[in-house]
Amino acid sequence: MAAKSGLEKWYWIAGVVGTIIAGFALSEHSDKVSGILHFGRNQRQIVRNQGTIIADPKAAAANEPVDIVGKWDRAQGEAMAVAELERKAWDPEDFLDGDPPYAHKFVSEHSVLFKNRHLIVLTFQTAPKDYVCRSCIPFLSFFEFEERQGGWKRISSDLGVVRVGRDGKFLQENISVRVIGENTYGVFLTDWDTSDQGVWSRDVSVLARIGGSFRKIMGLETGYSVPESGGWSSTITTSPTSTGLYDLVVDRVQNDPHHTFKWNDGRDGDRKGVADDDGSIRPRDVFKFDGNSYVRRDDFR
């Protein structure tokens, strides 16, 4: 067999060394992270580790401690949330010059199940103590805890995200949290308005974490009622899509089938969002996410 030239010998040695280094690197990676690294649709690194999707690859370190050991304990989660709320420097001007101390009250707990991920979302309201008036509106804050191997880890805190409610409080029954995408949930906040004549209207705002922070991605009137002349109400459901956020399907029904309600041109508000040109309330609308907010399918571009 012909003798290898000096250059051929160098290539052969380099190949062997490269193979050894690659094998060692793979061994080291296997010891440190159990799973595979890949890119999700949001172009952020996702680590699969013990069936949990972790948005931050650094959080996959095996030696990272959890905040709540073992089973979910809401009392511990609440204590961490209140401690952070108390550290925040709240501005009295945001509360119509309401003076401290401020009360941080638990509002609701929500379990959010994704395909390979489980979150608990706690919501709190913040307002001055004895904050009672029609225009006194508290702040809502959101805290996310993710199930990890060995317990639960607090992964985000969003303080004073939105002001909603009235009479200095926000009611638990006016908030819900639903999965609206492969790895996204929406916070559905209901607000209402009434008059001395018995007329009432109801609206919903949908917030979601887009681009790393919560913002409003949909606002829609969901009900209206006038004494003795009927009204309408609606429900919102989700319809999964192959990409992006799910569609939102709005179904509307007349409150009184004997008094068909039509939108009065003299009313304030966005008629196009719920009614046709003749004022007839549409029985169904589908809203699609356009990358910035939800728009009615007929207006989707």
The predicted-structure confidence for 142-175, as pLDDT tens digits, reads as follows: 999 999 999 999 999 999 999 998 888 899 999 9
Q: Which amino acid does the sequence have at 286? A: V
pLDDT at residue 14 is higher than 80 = no
**Per-residue model confidence (pLDDT) at position 270:** 67
Across 248-259, average pLDDT: 88
Picking from 158, 231, 160, the residue whose alpha carbon sits closest to that of residue 192 is 231
Strand stretches in 78-183, DSSP E? 102-114, 117-128, 139-148, 151-163, 175-181
Element housing 26 (H / E): helix 6-32
Of 26-30, 60-64, 103-107, minimum mean pLDDT range: 26-30
**Per-residue model confidence (pLDDT) at position 11:** 44
**Per-residue model confidence (pLDDT) at position 140:** 96
User: pLDDT-derived band of residue 196, with 50, 70 and 90 as boundaries?
Assistant: low
pLDDT at residue 2 is higher than 80 = no
Picking from 295, 275, 291, the residue whose alpha carbon sits closest to that of residue 283 is 275
Averaged pLDDT score across all residues of the chain: 79
User: pLDDT-derived band of residue 5, with 50, 70 and 90 as boundaries?
Assistant: very low
CB atoms within 10 A of CB 204: 20
Residues linked to residue 223 through DSSP beta bridges, in sequence order: 202, 233
- Contacts of residue 20, defined as CB under 8 A and 6 or more positions apart, other chains included, come to none
The residue ranking higher by pLDDT, 51 or 212, is: 212
CA distance 7 to 151: 56
The residue ranking higher by pLDDT, 146 or 195, is: 146
CA distance 209 to 186: 8
Of 13-22, 68-77, 144-153, minimum mean pLDDT range: 13-22
296 to 119, 250, 283, 290: CA distances (angstroms) = 30, 10, 13, 10
**Inter-residue contact 139 to 162 (CB < 8 Å):** yes
**Per-residue model confidence (pLDDT) at position 22:** 39
User: pLDDT-derived band of residue 49, with 50, 70 and 90 as boundaries?
Assistant: very low
Picking from 160, 107, 104, the residue whose alpha carbon sits closest to that of residue 131 is 104
CA distance 188 to 203: 10
Q: Where are the alpha helices (DSSP H) in 144-245?
A: none
What's the gap between Cα 27 and its chain centre? 38
**Per-residue model confidence (pLDDT) at position 261:** 80
User: pLDDT-derived band of residue 296, with 50, 70 and 90 as boundaries?
Assistant: very high
Phi and psi, residue 30, nearest 5°: -65, -35
Q: Which amino acid does the sequence have at 123? A: T
User: pLDDT-derived band of residue 267, with 50, 70 and 90 as boundaries?
Assistant: low
Angle at 288 (CA atoms; ends 285, 290), nearest 5 degrees:
145
The residue ranking higher by pLDDT, 289 or 272, is: 289
**Inter-residue contact 162 to 204 (CB < 8 Å):** no
- Rg of the Cα atoms in the chain: 26
**Inter-residue contact 157 to 143 (CB < 8 Å):** yes
**Per-residue model confidence (pLDDT) at position 209:** 93
Element housing 202 (H / E): strand 200-210
**Per-residue model confidence (pLDDT) at position 48:** 26
Across 31-48, average pLDDT: 27
